[in-house]
Amino acid sequence: MHTIEQPDTALNTALNTEQSDHVSPLQQARNLKLPSKSDMLRRAPSVEHFWHQNSQLFEQAWTEWETIQTELPVLDDSLFDPTLRDAVTQAWKTPETEMAVKDLWQEILPGVYQGQFFDPTQLSQLRRYLQAVADANIPIRPPYGIALNRNGAMLDARSTGYIAAPHFQAFYHEIMNRYVRPIARLLFADVYGYDTQTFGFSIQYQPTGDTSLQLHTDASAVTININLNLIDEPFTGSEVDFVDRHLGQSKQAIFEPGMAIIHRGNVPHAAHPITSGTRTNMVLWLYGDNMQVPRGVGLHSDIDANQRWTVPHSQPDRFAPF
């Protein structure tokens, strides 16, 4: 027997459907309830389902959000340290000048270098953009590979719940393709061929939230960790220890605004507890297809400058470390 719907009920159903059809992707995304922290940490199946089920909605929401923003800061090459930017620009034109890029990086331990990456006087632009992202109220998946960082975000499209705003993604790819990959090849000769895939996230340490990170290695060929603190954002603690197990040595590094530390993923490192202030960092990884990393001496350690300053033809795969 078929039930005949009463006129009022049918009208209400039609109205509700029509209203739902007119709810924009941005509003739909904002109406979603995030998984709980405990579910995220225990890798509940419902958490992965939430991000995958809504992935297309989130991408649409970020595109809509960006189109209606009238005062978003511009993310362009003015954010990079001027000396690094000029040297990198010249190396892309004339790869034989690449030593000017290498000279900007100081080796503080075997397999670990530090140098100025972003211009501290321009970082407010990037931080303002990231604050606007946080205020967008679109669900963002925080990094929870080693610990759940509540004020962090996934940056790469291979990660569900990532910052899918088109302008931000264009800037992210500029960082990885134009700067991080050729610099990694320049500092680590065997990384070529193990740098076709990218991964990235932001992370924040503060005394009242996520304070530290225990000794660990990364599932990357190369990791670059860039501090995003402004000049007037001091913090205490949160030093990073790097350990060379073969030499029995360690080196403690303290991040300065805009400074980056680039290292092989297999170098053990740990972040000390932060005791005051806030430390905000962007962490970027390179590795090969299917998450391959160099094992010993690489097959391509004898490549020349012209090969280093190229973008690989590999398509992004769907393997994500976490």
CA distances from 240 to 25, 215, 321 (A): 41, 10, 22
pLDDT band at 1 (very low <50, low <70, confident <90, very high): very low
Q: 231 or 14, which is more confident? A: 231
- CB 277 within 8 Å of CB 236: yes
* Residue 170 main-chain phi, psi, to 5 deg: -65, -40
Q: What is the C-alpha separation between 244 and 295, in angstroms, rounded?
A: 17
- pLDDT, one tens digit per residue, over 55-76 is 999 999 999 999 999 999 999 9
pLDDT of residue 320: 86
* Whole-number CA gyration radius for the chain: 22
Binned at pLDDT 50, 70 and 90, residue 300 comes out as: low
For residue range 273-299, list pLDDT tens digits in order. Answer: 899 999 999 999 999 999 999 976 545
Asked if residue 119 lies in contact with residue 78, where contact means CB atoms within 8 angstroms, the answer is yes
User: Token digits for 32?
Assistant: 């979603």
Is residue 285 within 8 A of residue 144, CB to CB? The reply is: no
Q: How far is CA 232 from CA 12, 113, 165, 256, in A?
A: 56, 25, 28, 11
Report how far residue 273's alpha carbon sits from residue 214's, in angstroms, rounded to the nearest whole number. 10
> Greatest CA span in the chain, whole angstroms?
82
Q: Summarize pLDDT for 179-234 with one digit per residue, the tens.
A: 999 999 999 989 999 999 999 999 988 887 666 678 899 999 999 999 999 999 99
pTM of this structure: 0.89
